[in-house]
C-alpha cells in the first residue's frame, strides 16, 4: 500500500552508538523515490576499534528497491573518514 515508512541508520563504535550519527527519513512505500541521507559527526576512534553501521526500517520496501521496481542503482553507502590532528 501507499503507507509511510521510516528508515534510520546509525554508526556504532565498539558496540556503542556514536552521538550525532543517527539519521532518518520518512518515505511512502510505493513512491520509488531515492532519498539520500547525509550526516557528519566527529568522534575519537582508536585504529584497533570496530566501526559498524546499522540500518533499520519500519516498512518492507524501505531499504533498496521493492518487488516490481525498475530501479537500476543498487542500494549503496559512501563513507569518508577524515583524520583531524
List, for residues 32-78, the tens digit of each pLDDT value. 566 778 889 999 888 899 999 988 877 665 555 555 566 666 667 78
pLDDT at 2 over 70: no
Q: What is the DSSP string of 7-73?
A: EEEEEEETTEEPTT--EEEEEETT----------------TTS-EEEEEEESSSSSSS--TT----S
Q: Which residues contact 34 (CB under 8 A, 6 or more apart)?
A: 73
- Look at residue 51 in the predicted model and tell me its pLDDT: 92
Please give the Cα distance from 30 to 85 (Å, whole number): 46
Amino acid at each position: 500500500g501507499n503507507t509511510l515508512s521510516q528508515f534510520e541508520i546509525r554508526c556504532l563504535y565498539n558496540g556503542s552508538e556514536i552521538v550525532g550519527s543517527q539519521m532518518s527519513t520518512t518515505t511512502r512505500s510505493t513512491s520509488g523515490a531515492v532519498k539520500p541521507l547525509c550526516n557528519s559527526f566527529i568522534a575519537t576512534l582508536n585504529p584497533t576499534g570496530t566501526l559498524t553501521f546499522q540500518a533499520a526500517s519500519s516498512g518492507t520496501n524501505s531499504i533498496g528497491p521493492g518487488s516490481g521496481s525498475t530501479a537500476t542503482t543498487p542500494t549503496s553507502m559512501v563513507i569518508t573518514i577524515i583524520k583531524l590532528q
